Amino acid sequence: MSPARMQRLSVLLVVPQGREAGHEGSGLSNGSGHKYEAKESGGRVMEKHSEEWRKCVLSDGFYEVSDRGRVRISATGAIKCQRKSQFGYMVILRAKSKRRVRMLVHRMVAMAFIGIPDGKEVDHIDRNRANAVLSNLRVVNRSGNMANRQTLESGKWYSKYKG
């Protein structure tokens, strides 16, 4: 499948079985009663969002990242499996010079779409470290990142950026 066609594919849609009447197309069932379908733009099923893919500078162009926080191999288009680190961030593993390198997905997305100047950090607006969607990321300085955190004494969320 060409990279241009891969860019037009919509996010996978979950359609419960029995409700797919009127929607044609091949789908895969995972055995749990849900059918997964991917439709191209302009298809019969309304798409929620088309992904935009960009080369990842941090990986020397080996990977591409989407604005939805997914990572794929540039040459094959295969989606990389993500894992949650011990600190709650989504990471991918890459073998480089006979050793494994962990790459933070949120930094890859921010670098590809926003750019990260020196001395700046990537902040998760909703405070969910596993959410690497572009609309949830912003580049701030250290004090801006610390302002968007939970207070320990009351246990309530505090942020001057999020109401």
Q: What is the 3-state secondary structure (H, E, C) of 6-71?
A: HHHEECCEEEECCCCCCCCCCCEECCCCEEEECCECCCCCCCCCECCEEECHHHCCCEEEECCCCE
Same domain for 29 and 89, yes or no, is no
Q: Write the pLDDT tens digit of every residue in 118-154.
A: 999 999 998 899 999 999 999 999 988 888 776 555 5
Domain total in the chain: 2
Q: Hey, how many other C-beta atoms are within 10 angstroms of the C-beta on 49? A: 12
Backbone φ and ψ of 59, nearest 5°: -105, 15
Same domain for 23 and 59, yes or no, is no
Same domain for 147 and 102, yes or no, is yes
pLDDT, residue 23, reads: 42
Same domain for 105 and 26, yes or no, is no
The model's pTM: 0.63
Same domain for 57 and 33, yes or no, is no
* Of the candidates 101, 16, 96, 11, the residue with the CA atom closest to the CA atom of residue 52: 11
Higher pLDDT, 32 or 161: 161
Which tokens is 62 given? 């080996």
Residue 31: is its pLDDT beyond 80? no
Same domain for 9 and 70, yes or no, is no
Same domain for 91 and 115, yes or no, is yes
Question: Please, are residues 10 and 47 in contact by the beta-carbon 8 Å criterion?
Answer: yes
Q: What sign results for the dihedral spanned by CA atoms 146, 85, 107, 58?
A: positive
Same domain for 17 and 82, yes or no, is no
Q: Write the pLDDT tens digit of every residue in 79-103.
A: 999 999 999 999 999 887 888 889 9
The SS3 assignment for 113 reads helix
pLDDT, residue 148, reads: 78
Q: For residue 134, give its domain range.
A: 53-158
Same domain for 67 and 16, yes or no, is no
Same domain for 23 and 86, yes or no, is no
